[in-house]
């Protein structure tokens, strides 16, 4: 399965591993010859550069704003507190050290942006910090309580 190509599409798979399936070394990439590309379909036009592909669709979202930063950091803290399930729905154990660090980062952000935020941004940051602090205390109390 070194190279598979479906003639009806322009999709091609190239195995670039340095060893074959039986463990013998393959030719170095410089020694490998690429077959010439034959295209029966017209080219869709200029292809975006590799850097552009990484951010494809970013124009639709617009540039990240202050609220995005707050949302990102607060969600991270909630994961670290064990309040949100993992990607597969599994329970994530709390990481109080890093949760405290993330909350501290939000506090630094609040200090450094004081007087430069809109009323809504300031209120949002204050509310997020309040909720995270209360959640942190609640999780911390659950771990420090002795079983009866």
Structure tokens at 114: 């004081």
Q: What residues pair up with 4 in beta bridges, in sequence order?
A: 13
- Span 28-40, pLDDT tens digits: 555 545 555 554 4
Listed as own residue / partner, the contacts of 110-114 with beta carbons closer than 8 Å and 24 or more positions apart are 113/66
For the chain, the domains span 63-144
- Span 67-92, pLDDT tens digits: 999 999 999 999 999 999 888 888 88
d(CA 79, CA 102): 11
Q: Say whether pTM exceeds 0.75.
A: no
90 or 8: whose pLDDT is higher?
Answer: 90
Q: How far is CA 107 from CA 13, 56, 110, 111, in A?
A: 49, 33, 5, 6
For residue 88, give the DSSP letter. T
Is the pLDDT reported for residue 125 higher than 60? yes
């Amino acid at each position: 399965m070194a190279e598979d190509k479906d003639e009806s599409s322009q999709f091609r798979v190239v195995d670039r591993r340095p060893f074959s399936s039986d463990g013998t070394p393959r030719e170095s990439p410089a020694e490998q010859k690429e077959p010439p590309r034959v295209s029966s379909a017209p080219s869709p036009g200029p292809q975006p550069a590799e850097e552009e592909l990484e951010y494809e669709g970013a124009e639709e979202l617009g540039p990240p704003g202050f609220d995005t930063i707050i949302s990102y950091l607060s969600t991270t803290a909630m994961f670290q507190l064990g309040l949100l399930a993992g990607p597969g729905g599994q329970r994530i154990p709390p990481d109080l050290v890093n949760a405290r660090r993330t909350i501290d980062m939000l506090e630094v952000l609040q200090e450094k942006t004081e007087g430069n935020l809109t009323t809504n941004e300031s209120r949002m940051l204050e509310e997020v910090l309040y909720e995270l602090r209360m959640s942190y205390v609640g999780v911390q109390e659950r771990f420090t309580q002795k079983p009866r």
